[in-house]
Amino acid sequence: MPGWLKDAVFYEIYPQTFKDTNNDGIGDIQGIIEKLDYVKALGCNALWINPCFDSPFKDAGYDVRDYKKVAPRYGTNEDLYRLFEEAHQKGIHVLLDLVPGHTSEEHEWFKESKKAQPNEYSDRYVWTHHWIQGIAGHPYIGGEADRNGCYMLNFFKCQPALNYGFLNRTEDWQLAPDHPACIATREALKDIMRFWLDHGCDGFRVDMADSLVKDDDENKSATGAIWKNIREMLDVDYPEAAIVSEWSNPHQSLKSGFHADFYLDHHGNGYNTLIRDNETPGGDHSFLKKDGNGDIMRFLLDYLPKYDDTKDDGYISFITCNHDTPRARLTLSYDELKIAWALFLTLPGVPFIYYGDEIGMRYLDIPTKEGGYTRTGTRTPMQWDNSKNYGFSTAEADKLYLPQDNSEDAPTVEKQAGDPDSLYNTTKALIALRHQFTDLQADGSFSVIYAEKEQFPFVYRRGNLLIAINPSDKKAAAELREDAFVKEDAAKGDVSKTSAVYSIGSCSISGSTLSIEAQSFAVFELV
Ligand code: NOJ
């Protein structure tokens, strides 16, 4: 486990819309370099940069045409190497985005693979043996290649599936995961990882990490075996490199070698019940909505078994949102967002903040761009200051990659930086708190102290810190058990001698009773 992950707070950057320095309306690597001090001042010490590689951009760069080349619209490879260097000088680690399951249909491998004449890349992708023979249960395309076969897709039409084999095989064109062609795909992936690690990157966020071996078993064990093999390479040659999976099944991912796995907002799961539980009748029942009458137990029933099962294997990563999900500001107000970020930044694991969420940028209802569809509204340009285009770019507004939030109260860093109560300053204070107390870091212990069905507050322990959260609009109280105050070394702790080390709103403890005002959050240290 790379030691730096323990205290890592990530900042996700969508390179298209973070900072444009050459006035073409689209963000670039130089823009990220210029904003490293901003990232550092916020308290983040790690970056995840969405794909910045050569691509026809039919899926915003998740359709990679050349894994080893920076897309010219963002700059050059040298710019990215410089970013690694300058980030490291500031104590910031950098993860790139690795797309192992598919390439662009314009990738050289695929152009070779399409040829009628057998060659080194014929089996790099999944092909059937006849132009009219489809792939039951999987999307596929016919009629596009000279080769007599149909090819399988991994996502959009522009993203043919790389071939890591099939575990359960029923057709003669399906290769076993240990077929030399499938091993060659895995080795090609390792070669790409080595290329960027050798140039100074610190690891990868891995796209659709569970999608490698097709018709895998229930536990995805054949896909897991590939990641175990890759982890062995990292442990030997790059022990400080980290891999974080888009898998959202920590039992599978963390036990297959990933250091961290995202807790994504899959329909009906625990994350969803916290911030966006608006599909049940009677309005939004999210725990973090002040009038949501939410239920923390719905989150805990999903999260706790996952945490208990994997806490010795790796970390579960909470996200404020990401480039695929609506911004949390769509359903939560600024005050609700403060409590939400307080929760996400004090739970175990490695947290990720999506650019602009520290100021509560809005989700915009805008037309699709580069395969974004309903995700496009989360990808709009960062709102830095009160200058033209909020300081994102000096290009004319109609030349920007995406439109911006034109409402009068559009948040900017500049507006919020001067206000001690702003979401920006609250986020900054919460991140500082996490760095200050090792108990709050990724592997600090976690236990539930008070959580009752449809009740507030929620009280939990991280090491010797006692944390209470009441997102509701009503005052709440809880009777705490004796063990809530027992320090980790078993000595009796006492919170009564200390006031909260951090609070939003107000909370106090008298005897064994914790009282917390509406919309409040507090962290107490047992002394
Ligand atoms: C997940 C990525 O986060 C998303 O943006 C992309 O469209 C798909 N994977 C396909 O690569």
Residue pLDDT, tens place only, 105-114: 999 999 999 9
**Would the CB of 62 count as within 6 Å of ligand 1?**
yes
Q: Which residue has the higher pLDDT, 265 or 8?
A: 8
pLDDT at residue 283 above 90?
A: no
> pLDDT grade, residue 285 (50/70/90)?
confident
Q: How far apart are CA 387 and CA 410, in angstroms?
A: 13
**Would the CB of 324 count as within 6 Å of ligand 1?**
yes
> pLDDT grade, residue 382 (50/70/90)?
very high
pLDDT at residue 496 above 80?
A: no
Q: How far apart are CA 296 and CA 270, in angstroms?
A: 9
Q: Which residue has the higher pLDDT, 478 or 268?
A: 478
Determine the pLDDT at residue 493: 77
pLDDT at residue 278 above 80?
A: no
- CB < 8 Å & 24+ apart, contacts of 58-61: 58/104, 58/156, 58/158, 58/370, 58/371, 59/155, 59/156, 59/158, 59/159, 59/370, 59/371, 60/16, 60/323, 60/369, 60/370, 60/371, 60/372, 60/379, 61/15, 61/97, 61/370
Q: Percent of the chain, pLDDT > 70? A: 99
Distance 102 CA to ligand 1 centre (A): 10
Atom of ligand 1 nearest to the CA of 62: 11
Determine the pLDDT at residue 497: 62
Determine the pLDDT at residue 168: 97
> pLDDT grade, residue 293 (50/70/90)?
confident
When the pLDDT of each residue in the chain is averaged and rounded to a whole number, the result is 96
Give the mutation target among 48, 49, 59 for probing the ligand 1 site: most ligand atoms within 8 A of CB.
Answer: 59
Q: How far apart are CA 444 and CA 380, in angstroms?
A: 35
Three-class DSSP category at 494 = coil
**Would the CB of 207 count as within 6 Å of ligand 1?**
yes
| Mean pLDDT of the region 227-250 | 98
How many CB atoms are located within 10 Å of the residue 85 CB? 13
Q: Pairing between strand 507-510 and 260-262?
A: unpaired
The residue whose C-alpha atom lies closest to atom 1 belonging to ligand 1 is 207
| Mean pLDDT of the region 319-324 | 97
